[in-house]
A and B are shown apart, each in its own frame.
Chain A
Amino acid sequence: MKKTIITVVGKDTVGIIARVCTYLAANNVNIEDISQTIVQDYFNMMMIVDVNQSAKPFGDMVKELDELGAEIGVKIRCQHEDIFTKMHRI
């Protein structure tokens, strides 16, 4: 099944991963991989997740994660992985 990519970019602060993971757990989203770097003081995280067991419509999840990001002060995006694989793999 198609994977979903969640990215979090913004000023580093306490509890970013915790807040995002809590949201994902509450919505039955399984995290398969996390990578994270700090670029010029900016927190930069990518998660590969499986949303297929979640009852939440994908569009709602996108909006709620965006709102959660606004609360924490970071930018959270939730996108189907196809946009990245199509662009970067032949």
Chain B
Amino acid sequence: MINIFEVNETNNMIDQERLDVRTITLGISLLDCCDADLNTLNQKIYNKITQVAKDLVKTGEEIELSYGIPIVNKRISVTPIALVGGPACQTPGDFVSIAKTLDAAARTTGVNFLGGFSALVSKGMTEADENLIRSIPMALKETERVCASVNVGSTKTGINMDAVKLMGEIIKKTAEETKENDSLGCAKLVVFCNAPDDNPFMAGAFHGVTEADAVLNVGVSGPGVVKHALEAVRGENFEVLCETVKKTAFKVTRVGQLVAKEASERMGIPFGILDLSLAPTPAVGDSVAEILEEMGLESVGAPGTTAALALLNDQVKKGGVMASSYVGGLSGAFIPVSEDQGMIDAVSKGALTLEKLEAMTCVCSVGLDMIAIPGSTSAATISGIIADEAAIGMINQKTTAVRLIPVIGKAVGDTVEFGGLLGYAPVQPVNSYGCEAFISRGGRIPAPIHSFKN
């Protein structure tokens, strides 16, 4: 039988160390909504989402009460809209109308974000893909809860450099269209390499075509729990350090598994995967950076940061995999700058640079995330950063992503406030040397060789 100390340990994790289930994300296939008529398509999409997800928020709240564990977000992901909207949408404007439908469905169901305004163009773009991508700036301006993502490369296909070039321009346009809100639109736009089909985390969630009609994916969190556990083993060797992270990750993940199974049972929708990511928030004590500092770094960004992060990421997976029957999504430590107080502090004092962040993305999920850069940064430079990040993902067979915010009207030294879970960020300097000629070449980078690994 469970004892009072175990009960107190769990409740302290929830009360003091900010243990929570970060998101229950309901993936919904919209493939059966396809129609050649735009109005009919919009109606079908709205009806399907609001029907399948009608109990999502209520069920999440009931589970919170039953177990006393906060479930911070209830969200929806849908089939990449470029696939669904192809027959009906002739122009980018047509795709904007679908974005508005998705926004309305999100409001009706009460979810705070809906992901899947997406195109998968890792090898080439169809006309529909290109129209969707070109509609993104307006779609993100006109909607509140819709998130967009574009997959521009994969280990199997190489990198679509035409799409990379286009995405640099689209990110700039999105920043321009939403400049009244510190270019907030860019916080809802992710560029991926090796995007997973079952990611529950925004802004990159979409419901892949390999998935069932509806599926529940759950993302756990708990950086504060890991940090607290490490405080108790300060100065111990790496064996003790790693074992502590692993055991803590197991406990955190078990809560996610419980919530996922319970939600699946109550809603009658199959459980997909548990995403093992350590997801920080701007709240004090909920930071991945603080874990790395607890390991012995003076500040995140110091030499040793990449090794510390690699260790953390690997141990979280080792502990988490045994705790869940199905693991998927991004599964790794997130290092968003604006959403992590420790990262914000490190950037503010000059300890953490864009280049070090890039190195860190080689060993963890997911990529250059929520980084504010000067609004004057050129589209080609943004494309260059995307290409670098995609190359890391392609060569290392992992997911990488870029979510940069070129804040129009702001320069290095300024701070940007996004609000809520998106936090705030100091504007970071970007290498000022150009890459225009490289980005403008056009075409694809071929898929990498899968042998001779070095």
A residues lining the B interface (CB < 8 Å): 5, 7, 9, 33, 35-37, 44-46, 48, 58-59, 62-63, 77-89
Given known A5-B7, A87-B254, contact A82–B1 (CB-CB < 8 A):
no
**Whole-angstrom distance between the alpha carbons of A9 and B5 in the complex?**
12
Q: How many residues of B contact A (CB 8 A)?
A: 22
Q: Are B255 and A7 in contact (CB under 8 A)?
A: no
**Interface flag for B2 (CB, 8 Å):** yes
Bound Cα distance from A63 to B62, whole angstroms? 12
Given A59-B65, A88-B2, CB of A83 within 8 Å of CB of B258: yes
> With A and B bound together, what is the CA distance between A89 and B19 in angstroms?
18
Closest Cβ of chain B to A67, distance in Å, is 14
Which residues from chain B sit less than 8 Å from chain A, CB to CB? 1-4, 6-11, 62, 65-69, 251, 254-255, 257-258, 262
- Check if B68 sits within 8 Å of A84, measured CB to CB: no
- Cβ of B69: which chain A residues have Cβ within 8 Å of it? 83
Q: Which residues of A contact B65 (CB under 8 A)?
A: 58-59, 62-63
Residues of B close to A46: CB separation below 8 A: 3-4, 7-8
Q: What is the distance, in angstroms, from B5's C-beta to the closest C-beta of chain A? A: 9
Contacts of B11 in A (CB 8 A): 7, 9, 77
Task: Assess whether A83 is in contact with B4, with CB atoms less than 8 Å apart.
Answer: no
- Closest Cβ–Cβ distance, residue B65 to chain A (whole Å): 4
Beyond A35-B3, A44-B8: 7 further Cβ-contacts under 8 Å? A5-B7, A9-B11, A33-B1, A48-B2, A62-B66, A79-B66, A83-B258
Chain A neighbourhood of B10, CB < 8 A: 83-84, 87-88
Query: Is the CB–CB distance between A86 and B7 below 8 Å?
Result: no
Q: Which chain A residue has the least Cβ–Cβ distance from B8?
A: A44
Chain A residue at minimum C-beta to C-beta distance from B12: A9
